[in-house]
Structure 1
Amino acid sequence: MTKRIDFGKTASDYAQHREGFPPALLSRLKPYAIGQSGQSILDLGTGTGTLARQFALQGALVSGLDIAAELIDQAKLLDRQAGTQVNYHIGSAEKLPFADQSMDVISAGQCWHWFEAGKVAYECYRVLKPGGALVICHFDWLPLVGNMVELTESLILKHNPNWSMGGGSGLYPSWLSDVALEGFQNLETFSFDCNIPYSHDRWRGRIRASAGISASLSSVQVDAFDEELQAALASRFANDPMPVPHRVWALIARKAWS
């Protein structure tokens, strides 16, 4: 039986250890007129608000939506620390609590794979203003031969054989069909790679905050995994912090003007 994924169980680690999208993503979205001051932006699957907060700091009027109240509580705390504000809502992306043609931009960061894509794409099209943009973006660690990501993924599978999200390339071409089928136009994608430094402790926290560990295993199982990962990192990867390779991928799609 597939375990239910509940990120609320790992809200603390999620807030402390999951890196948000790098600032370079916001820079690369500027030529698409996304993230501008005064824009109305809805961030789906907002989690702890890592993407929503970056838009808000640029002067956008941001709403964030997530099904996990525990993550939104963490997002509000992080917003206060950053000196900004996002208007958060608890709810489902498949049935958005927003009026027709009310948003300039809708973003979906690190969450599209959890959605019923057809329903969410339909709702995004409904809520966007004519000419508005849907931005789907993802930020993946890269399991390269012999690196700490490959090791980590092997340990996740050892402790959670039901986990099915390993071995990824960080590229999602099928998502173009998801949005095209609902009428979105002018589809464009881009990607870029970067190294994110993680200490051993923060990497362990990052992995605890993943779908395959704290979001789906018991606390006893999480502790057993964490101890084994700590030992493996100490014995095989002496550098601390470690450079962890990541890939950012983004899809931009437009609602028709008429």
Structure 2
Amino acid sequence: METIDFGRTASDYARHRAGFPPSLMERLAPYRIGEAGQTVLDLGTGTGTLARLFADRGAVVTGLDPAEPLLAKAREARPDITWIAGRAEDTGLPGAAFDVVTAGQCWHWFQAGAAAAEARRLLRPGGRIVIAHFDWLPLPGNVVEATERLILAHNPRWSLSGGTGMHPRWLTDLRTAGFGGVETFSFDVDVPYTREGWVGRIRASAGVAASLPPEAVDRFSAELTALIDTGELAVPHRVWAVIARSPA
């Protein structure tokens, strides 16, 4: 089985992975998610881009991730947030301690049943879980489609190509764990990237620097740079989220 280690991508991850747009928080507001004073646990937090959005709204945020190099970048950016090393399936945190549990761009890396059960344990009665994604969209002829072809040429084991930005299986994960009030929403945004920024963003992905040896990453980066014939890109992305409620 291929080993994925995002800790190896920490510098590119912190610099080039833009994270969720602030408009996600506006979409969550009608659900009373992300309000000032709420306690929020962000699972698989990475460098903390989603955790920071909640903290900016006045929530009391804890970010959890197994990769210490990513947490180091998170601490540098926001020392006011609590950052701890741990896994979503067994956090070691006290039960019924959080109003909101979030998982941004990471649920597919978890053991879903164990992570959903742990989230339910961590939430107060009636608390909310949010599983969110921010996926690039490979459309016919666009830079994402060409980039995915190149990733597969360098790493045929990569299994995340051709996505639509929709993740209906997560709804079943939550219902199976006893969550109710399940709702979803999605919206599309174009994200501006320079050529250098897009190459850095792709290096910081599972199919490249998180799984390939350094010399292979260098070859890939050179080929992707040569593939892009413009200095400015508008890369289509889809924000998708499922929200569910812990039993009262």
Partner of 1:217: 212
Q: Hey, what's the Cα distance between the residues in 1 that align with 2:183 and 2:55? A: 24
Partner of 1:248: 239
Q: Hey, what's the Cα distance between the residues in 2 that align with 1:170 and 1:255? A: 25
Partner of 2:50: 51
1:1-258 to structure 2, matched below 5 A, reads: 2-80=1-79, 85-234=80-229, 238=230, 240-257=231-248
1:154 positional shift: 0.2
Query: Quick one: which amino acid aligns to residue 109 of structure 1?
Result: G
SS of alignment partner, residue 78 of structure 2: helix
Q: Hey, what's the Cα distance between the residues in 2 that align with 1:222 and 1:96? A: 32
Work out the percentage of aligned pairs sharing the same amino acid.
56
Q: Hey, what's the Cα distance between the residues in 2 that align with 1:196 and 1:167? A: 18
SS of alignment partner, residue 42 of structure 1: strand
Deviations 1:95-131 (A, max 9, x none): 0221111100000000000000000000000110000
Q: Which runs of 4+ in 1 moved over 6 A?
A: none
Q: Paired residues, what number?
A: 248
Deviations 1:50-71 (A, max 9, x none): 0001111111000010000000
When the two chains are superposed, the root-mean-square deviation of aligned CA atoms in Å is: 0.7
Q: Hey, what's the Cα distance between the residues in 2 that align with 1:11 and 1:135? A: 25
Q: Hey, what's the Cα distance between the residues in 1 that align with 2:95 and 2:11? A: 35
Query: Quick one: which amino acid aligns to residue 89 of structure 1?
Result: I
Q: Hey, what's the Cα distance between the residues in 2 that align with 1:28 and 1:175? A: 19
Deviations 1:192-226 (A, max 9, x none): 00100000000000000000000000000000000
SS of alignment partner, residue 22 of structure 1: coil
**Structure 2 residue runs without a partner (length 5+):** none
TM-score, scaled relative to structure 2: 0.99
Q: Hey, what's the Cα distance between the residues in 2 that align with 1:211 and 1:86? A: 26
